[in-house]
Chain A
Amino acid sequence: QSVLTQPPSVSAAPGQKVTISCSGSSSNIGNNYVSWYQQLPGTAPKLLIYENNKRPSGIPDRFSGSKSGTSATLGITGLQTGDEADYYCGTWDSSLSAQFGGGTKLTVL
């Protein structure tokens, strides 16, 4: 059972927009930065968003992040079939232990 709550799955058509939510508490998301990771099938996770809303070099601006209170959201616009993957949110708690969401499987219909 993950400390951070994500929907198990989301889906949308190519070219559309999708959002993935991540719900936590004041002991984790509420007082720490959130990051987001994309895991394509059979590969290691890849950092998409850090510091709630910043993109590493090379990540297209189709990917965006936001945080409000104890929840965070990943947005993906202009969906492509190559975006089909599992997406995880992550943060830390006050004891400097990392927490991950349970993951959301994105299907591009």
Chain B
Amino acid sequence: QVQLVQSGAEVKKPGASVKVSCKASGYTFTSYGISWVRQAPGQGLEWMGWISAYNGNTNYAQKLQGRVTMTTDTSTSTAYMELRSLRSDDTAVYYCARMLSPAKGYAFDIWGQGTMVTVSS
């Protein structure tokens, strides 16, 4: 079945970096984009950016520009999100999500299970 499986929970100190993986299966990885969305405890969804698994093109949310990098490894059908210079307000559950085509409004139809990232000294 189509699924996205993410890496496990992380605990990091302020100023450190974290890299979360998202392994796709059950579909042709390069045919869809992947977005990353995070959710702070008790808060709503925040879009972080997306990457084309076809050509690696990216578009990041303005507030994260310079701190986030999204990459893919097509040989393993895995997407990665690295966030640097972590702060306490980066504590959140991080989700990867598959994006439907432009004709379908780029809706997010498949979601990973989420990865909890805790930033604490």
Contact A103 B45 (CB under 8 A): yes
Q: A interface, how many residues as a size bin?
A: 20 to 34
Least CB distance, A103 to chain B, in whole angstroms = 4
One of B66-74, B78-86, B107-115 contacting the partner: B107-115
Contact of B46 among A34, A91, A96, A100 (CB under 8 A): A100
Q: Which of A50-88 contact B (CB under 8 A)?
A: 50-52, 54, 56, 86, 88
Q: B interface, how many residues as a size bin?
A: 20 to 34
**In the complex, what residue of chain B is closest to A34 when comparing beta carbons?**
B105
Residues in chain B near residue A86, CB distance under 8 A = 44
Contact A90 B109 (CB under 8 A): no
Residues in chain A near residue B95, CB distance under 8 A = 44-45
Contact A45 B50 (CB under 8 A): no
Query: Complex: how many Å from CA A50 to CA B61?
Result: 22
Least CB distance, A84 to chain B, in whole angstroms = 17
Q: Take A96-B59, A97-B61 as given contacts and tell me if A88 and B44 are in contact as well, using a CB distance cutoff of 8 Å.
A: yes
Query: Complex: how many Å from CA A88 to CA B106?
Result: 15
Contact of A46 among B62, B111, B114 (CB under 8 A): B111
B35 at the interface (CB under 8 A from A): yes
Query: Complex: how many Å from CA A95 to CA B65?
Result: 14
Least CB distance, A61 to chain B, in whole angstroms = 18
Q: Which of B77-101 contact A (CB under 8 A)?
A: 95, 97, 100
Least CB distance, A50 to chain B, in whole angstroms = 4
Contact A32 B59 (CB under 8 A): no
Residues in chain A near residue B50, CB distance under 8 A = 96, 98
Contact of A103 among B44, B59, B106, B108 (CB under 8 A): B44
Given contacts A32-B105, A47-B109, A91-B105, 15 further A-B contacts (CB under 8 A): A44-B95, A45-B37, A45-B97, A45-B111, A50-B100, A50-B107, A88-B44, A88-B45, A95-B59, A97-B47, A97-B59, A100-B44, A100-B46, A101-B44, A103-B44
**A/B interface sample: 5 pairs, CB < 8 A:** A33-B106, A44-B95, A96-B50, A97-B59, A100-B45
